[in-house]
Structure 1
Amino acid sequence: MCRTDQEPEPDPDPDLDTTDAAFISLLEDSAEELYDQAPCGYLSTLMDGTIAKINATLLDWLGLERSQVVGRMRFTDLLTVGGKLYHETHFAPTLQMQGEINGVALEIKAAGRQRMPVLVTSRVKTSNDGEPMLIRTTVFDARDRRAYETELLRSRQLAEEARRQAEADRKRLQEALAVLQQSLLPAALPAVPGLEAASYYHTASPDLLGGDFYDLFPVGADRWAFFLGDVCGKGPQAAAVTSLTRYTLRAAALHDPDPVNVLRTLNTVLYEHYTSGDARYCTVVFGFLLPDGDRFRVHLASGGHPSALIQRADGTADYLPTPGGMLVGVLPGAQFTTAHTELLPGDTLLLYTDGLTEARIGPDRMLYGEHALHDFAGAQPPAGPQALVTALRGLLASFGEGLDDDTALLALGVPAVAVTLRAAPVSEDLT
């Protein structure tokens, strides 16, 4: 049996109604205050741009009263001339097509006739039927951002100026170092009757002075001297020792026909320099050339330097061994090794520094080595010093970053069709 009477519902709590009403009123007040006192500008405009509502924050930026703006001004009236043009050509068309536009940089006419950079976001509010009713716009103060961007741009400009200045300074330094490096080498090899000579200097780093050196010069009517070597280290100190070494060798060669004695003189000079605080030494090959008919006799001595290589006219290549020669400038009584040979028509004598044989090649960065150099020279046609140096320049270029030390090359050879020269007097016999 169903009950037809219903118990009356309890009366609502009057205190709860009062609390809800107060809370709702507080929310309404807070929402209105948030809109009006927000840290950004708010405004609503009709579709023609007439301002229907604006908050106090934006009015404060503009230095205007609400009565001067609402219903009397359009949004574009708040913008600078440039801002108006951008609004008409880009802002308004984009908003009309897409219904919203975000974070557009504009400038408004702020209080005191100041330009104020702002970021503007606008959205179109539509009716239930999808008809546009009004435009809601948020305006953010971009002065701090503009200042930051200006400072950032200035910092980038300063950094770019500093980079350009550093690059210019580096270029000037490289040019100065190149000139100084060239001053440590002969400007050009002299013309020796019946002999062809070629040289090359590869600089591993344009920012550092190398210690490699070479020379070819006359020491008498029918006698020529040559040398090639390498001072340890790089930089100005190494360059100073290189200069000292070159001039010592040239001076000693004029007074003594024995290449071992020439190296002993150099050793004395460098050892004194070595013990005075600059612990630098060098390796060097020094020799004399004496024309003898269609050939040249060679008498040389080595102080700790890689053996010279001879490319013969028949296409073979062999080292001219100089084992046991000591470093120059380290010990007061250093011992040096001598070697003798003859350069016949078509033969070429090659001197080189260890930047060539100690180059790192391949993915495992293995040493190129003297064996590979021997094979390379043997594979080249015996076309004379210049052709051999040209081929070696191509080889050096192929090493790329594996070539991390300077390399000097000096090649001396007798042309295949040689001019017969006067035989040397007996008094000038090198032995």
Structure 2
Amino acid sequence: MIITQASARSADEIEAQRLLAVARYAILDSPADDAFDRIARVAARTFSAPMATIAIVDRDRIWFKAAHGLGNLHEVDRRGGFSSETILDDRPYVVNDAARDPRTAQNLFVSGPLGVRFYAGAPIVTSDGHRIGAVNVLDTRPRRCDEHDLATLTDLAALVMDQLDLRLATLSAVRTGRVVRHDAADDATTVADYAEALQRSLLPPSLPTVPGLSVAAHYHPASAARVGGDFYDVFALDGARWAFFLGDVEGHGTAAAAVTSLVRYTLRAAALHYENPTEGLDELNRVLVGDPNERKFCTVLFGTLVAEPHGGGHRIRLATGGHLPAMLLDPATGTVQPVRPERGMFVGAVPDATFDECSFTLRPGQTLLLFTDGITEARPTGSGCFGEDALRRYLTPRVNMRASELIDDLAGLVPTLRPDDDIALLALTADH
């Protein structure tokens, strides 16, 4: 009995802290937001499901920040919502046939006019571990989903969390600005801190360890008080395959940041669903042009790699969405050569954009360098651009450097170029 009471107190304390986290984000009953509506539509389209929601679980109700396919339904009683179960665990919650599942057979969503038969939800988890809601997809027919589907749903929940953090950071900056208007130095510090925190949320906190490969990256903001649109990522697809990308969203500020976050998670989800990286760019293009309120586009290099079974190195498939070529540094020949498919349009600019890919082997000792145009368009003398040719000349004596050494060297070069745009760098070296 004592154990049961202690457990109950613990559960009450956890719920109290969770509700404080919900309140901290000040999201309940807020107006409709295109960013969240777009994520709900992406979830529905990804699962080919008629309904999808972004739900925040309050004390006695489940409130929908976004609801696709539910008409004018904005909230439900907490006792009758699927999200109440989803927030009990960090893993996705799935009901394959709700009418036959004793957990849900009496649920009004199931027995009522909506006739829900399938449900999958992934919890929205704050950085301090509170599950404040869920991203859900619902269907009127029984069905199953695989691990890739659930990974996509989890990524979309993480994207929602990014949007909530962006929104909270903006609110905090505005509130602070209203209070500290008399001190310009403090205002500048507040804006810089806000921009830095916002930018960090758009980049991976660390790069993974890839067997047989050395990986390094660097991000240089043009201004401490401005959020940029450059992005990169490296992540595992399965036990043998990995994906990577680097790109640049048009514009700056919170609008570009929102698109950057959407691009990152869309590409992550697409990499799990499509073996061909050009199909991943097709999916990203559909997402960006599918919303009439979305007017931004991006350039991207998007690739996959797998270790060669014989001879060492990694086989790379690299697709382009209008981005600058990567540079291949080869110590065997002492050369630096551009690598990019011949064709590839901007992503998100037009509905019928086409993309292309190339494939090659990154051999032991070779390094592939991806970069954004902030470095090539820098004007170190105040006149002409640094340019791709100058970058190749700079890299040629450094073809023997491994990824981390090369990135450290370039990080030292970048400030001397006096760039007026952000710069992202990503290097991959095949181990000997």
Range of TM-score over shorter length: 0.5 to 0.7
SS at match of 1:360: coil
User: Is residue 226–residue 287 contact of structure 1 (8 Å, CA) maintained in 2?
Assistant: yes
1:411 alignment counterpart:
427
Equivalent-residue separation in structure 1 for 2:243 and 2:198 (angstroms): 24
2:286 alignment counterpart:
268
1:185 lines up with 2:203 in the alignment: yes
User: Is residue 304–residue 316 contact of structure 2 (8 Å, CA) maintained in 1?
Assistant: yes
2:261 alignment counterpart:
243
Q: How big is the alpha-carbon RMSD for the aligned residues of Structure 1 and Structure 2? A: 1.6
Equivalent-residue separation in structure 2 for 1:163 and 1:332 (angstroms): 45
1:318 lines up with 2:337 in the alignment: yes
Deviation at 1:330, TM superposition (A): 1.1
Deviation at 1:169, TM superposition (A): 1.9
SS at match of 2:206: coil
Deviates more, 1:228-237 or 1:288-297: 288-297
- Pick the structure with greater CA Rg: 1
1:387 pairs, out of 397, 402, 405, with 405
Deviation at 1:313, TM superposition (A): 2.4
1:335 alignment counterpart:
354
Aligned amino acid, residue 262 of structure 1: G
Kindly provide the CA deviation profile for residues 174-221 of structure 1, in whole angstroms up to 9, marking residues without a partner as x.
Answer: 112111101100000000111000000000011111000000000111
Deviation at 1:322, TM superposition (A): 2.4
SS at match of 2:273: coil
SS at match of 2:243: strand
2:363 pairs, out of 332, 344, 354, with 344
Aligned amino acid, residue 204 of structure 1: A
2:321 pairs, out of 300, 303, 315, with 303
Deviation at 1:248, TM superposition (A): 0.3
Length, aligned pairs only = 251
Aligned amino acid, residue 267 of structure 1: N
Aligned amino acid, residue 353 of structure 2: A
1:197 alignment counterpart:
215
SS at match of 1:359: coil
Deviation at 1:395, TM superposition (A): 1.6
Kindly provide the CA deviation profile for residues 316-349 of structure 1, in whole angstroms up to 9, marking residues without a partner as x.
Answer: 1101132321000111111112111111111000
Equivalent-residue separation in structure 1 for 2:246 and 2:340 (angstroms): 16
1:81 alignment counterpart:
none
User: Is residue 300–residue 340 contact of structure 1 (8 Å, CA) maintained in 2?
Assistant: yes
Equivalent-residue separation in structure 1 for 2:329 and 2:188 (angstroms): 41
User: Is residue 211–residue 239 contact of structure 1 (8 Å, CA) maintained in 2?
Assistant: yes
2:243 alignment counterpart:
225
User: Is residue 308–residue 315 contact of structure 2 (8 Å, CA) maintained in 1?
Assistant: yes
Q: Which runs of 4+ in 1 moved over 6 A?
A: none
SS at match of 1:228: strand
1:362 alignment counterpart:
381
1:399 lines up with 2:417 in the alignment: yes
Equivalent-residue separation in structure 2 for 1:171 and 1:361 (angstroms): 27
User: Is residue 317–residue 374 contact of structure 1 (8 Å, CA) maintained in 2?
Assistant: yes
Deviation at 1:381, TM superposition (A): 4.2
Equivalent-residue separation in structure 2 for 1:207 and 1:322 (angstroms): 35
SS at match of 1:323: coil
1:283 lines up with 2:299 in the alignment: yes
User: Is residue 214–residue 227 contact of structure 1 (8 Å, CA) maintained in 2?
Assistant: yes
Equivalent-residue separation in structure 1 for 2:381 and 2:181 (angstroms): 34
1:169 alignment counterpart:
187
Deviation at 1:164, TM superposition (A): 7.1
Matched ranges for 1:112-131 at <5 A: none
User: Is residue 322–residue 338 contact of structure 1 (8 Å, CA) maintained in 2?
Assistant: yes
Give the alignment's TM-score, normalised by structure 2.
Answer: 0.56
Deviation at 1:163, TM superposition (A): 8.5
1:47 alignment counterpart:
none
SS at match of 1:254: helix
Equivalent-residue separation in structure 2 for 1:297 and 1:306 (angstroms): 21
Equivalent-residue separation in structure 1 for 2:413 and 2:251 (angstroms): 24
User: Is residue 329–residue 399 contact of structure 2 (8 Å, CA) maintained in 1?
Assistant: no
SS at match of 1:346: coil
Aligned amino acid, residue 297 of structure 1: R
Aligned amino acid, residue 395 of structure 1: L
Give the alignment's TM-score, normalised by structure 1.
Answer: 0.57
Equivalent-residue separation in structure 2 for 1:381 and 1:231 (angstroms): 29
2:137 alignment counterpart:
none
Matched ranges for 1:125-140 at <5 A: none
User: Is residue 229–residue 282 contact of structure 1 (8 Å, CA) maintained in 2?
Assistant: yes
Equivalent-residue separation in structure 2 for 1:316 and 1:163 (angstroms): 55
1:254 pairs, out of 237, 253, 272, with 272
Aligned amino acid, residue 210 of structure 1: G
Aligned amino acid, residue 367 of structure 1: C
Aligned amino acid, residue 416 of structure 2: S
SS at match of 2:189: helix
SS at match of 1:270: helix
Equivalent-residue separation in structure 2 for 1:381 and 1:331 (angstroms): 38
User: Is residue 313–residue 345 contact of structure 1 (8 Å, CA) maintained in 2?
Assistant: no
Kindly provide the CA deviation profile for residues 290-313 of structure 1, in whole angstroms up to 9, marking residues without a partner as x.
Answer: 011421000010000000111012
Equivalent-residue separation in structure 2 for 1:396 and 1:368 (angstroms): 11
User: Is residue 208–residue 234 contact of structure 1 (8 Å, CA) maintained in 2?
Assistant: yes
Equivalent-residue separation in structure 2 for 1:297 and 1:263 (angstroms): 20
Equivalent-residue separation in structure 2 for 1:394 and 1:271 (angstroms): 38
Aligned amino acid, residue 318 of structure 1: Q
